[in-house]
Amino acid sequence: MMSRTKYLLNPYRRITLLSLILTFILFCIPLASADSVVCISPSGQDIYANHDFDVFINIEPETPIAGAQLDISFDNDMITANRVDDGGFFKQEGIMSIFIGGTIDNPHGRINGLFAVTLGKAEVSTPENFAHVTFTASNKTGNCIISLSNVIMSDSDGKAIPVTVSNAQVNIIETSASLIQESIASSGGGSGGGGGGDTGENTENIDFMEVEKLYVTGDYDVVYLFDENTNPVRSISYRSLKNAGFITSTIEVLKDVSSTVSEKPDGIIYRNMNIWVGKAGYATENNIEDTRISFIVLKKWMQSNDIGTGNIHMKRYSDGKWEKLDTEMTGENEDFILYEAKTPGFSPFAITADVPYENPMEKVISNSDTDNKVLLPEEENSLDTKSPASVVSDTNSAKLAQNSLLLFCPSIFIILLCRRCRFI
pLDDT, tens digit (0-9, with 9 covering 90-100), for 29-41:
444 457 899 999 9
pLDDT reported for residue 218:
85
Q: Are residues 127 and 150 in the same domain?
A: yes
Q: Within 10 A of 100 (CB to CB), how many other CB atoms are there? A: 13
* Secondary structure element (H or E) that encloses residue 103, with its range: strand 103-105
Residue 269 sits in the same domain as residue 337 = yes
220 with 146, same domain: the answer is no
Whether residue 234 sits in one domain with residue 145: no
Label residue 194 by pLDDT band (50, 70, 90): very low
Half-sphere exposure of 283 (CA within 13 A, CB side): 30
CB 323 within 8 Å of CB 352: no
Question: Which of 173, 204, 222 is where one domain is finished?
Answer: 173
Round the average pLDDT of the chain to a whole number and report it.
78
Q: Is residue 422 part of a domain?
A: no
Residues 140 and 235 in one domain: no
Give me the pLDDT at residue 387, please.
Answer: 38
Q: How far apart are CA 247 and CA 269, in angstroms?
A: 30
Together in a domain, 327 and 221: yes
Residue 272 inside a domain? The answer is yes
**262 and 324 in a common domain:** yes
Answer yes or no: is pLDDT of 66 > 90: yes
Q: Which of 300, 330, 353 is the C-terminal boundary of a domain?
A: 353
Same domain, 209 and 76: no
Cα angle value 199/201/205 (rounded, 5°):
145
- Per-residue pLDDT, 370: 35
Instruction: Give the total number of structural domains in the chain.
Output: 2
- Tell me which of 43-52, 77-86, 370-379 is least confident: 370-379
Model confidence pLDDT, tens digit, residues 118-174: 988 899 999 999 999 999 999 999 999 999 999 999 998 889 999 999 999 999 987
Q: Which domain holds residue 226?
A: 177-353
Q: What is the CATH number of the domain that holds 89?
A: 2.60.40.680
78/142 same-domain check: yes
In terms of domains, do 143 and 250 share one?
Answer: no
End position of a domain, from candidates 138, 173, 208: 173
Please indicate, yes or no, if residue 258 is contained in any of the structural domains. yes
Q: Is residue 389 part of a domain?
A: no
From the list 36, 43, 110, the residue with the least C-alpha distance to 68 is: 36
339 band by pLDDT with thresholds 50, 70 and 90: very high
- DSSP letter at 161 equals -
- Strand ranges of the sheet holding 79-86, from the earlier edge strand across to the other edge: 79-86, 128-137, 52-60, 36-41, 163-166
Quick check: is 376 in a domain?
no
Question: Coil, strand or helix: which one is 227?
Answer: coil
The domain that contains 279 carries what CATH number? 2.60.220
Give pLDDT, residue 16: 62
Alpha helices in 224-338 (DSSP H): 299-304
CB 273 within 8 A of CB 259: no
190: helix, coil or strand? coil
pTM of the shown model: 0.45
Q: What is the mean pLDDT of residues 16-34?
A: 57
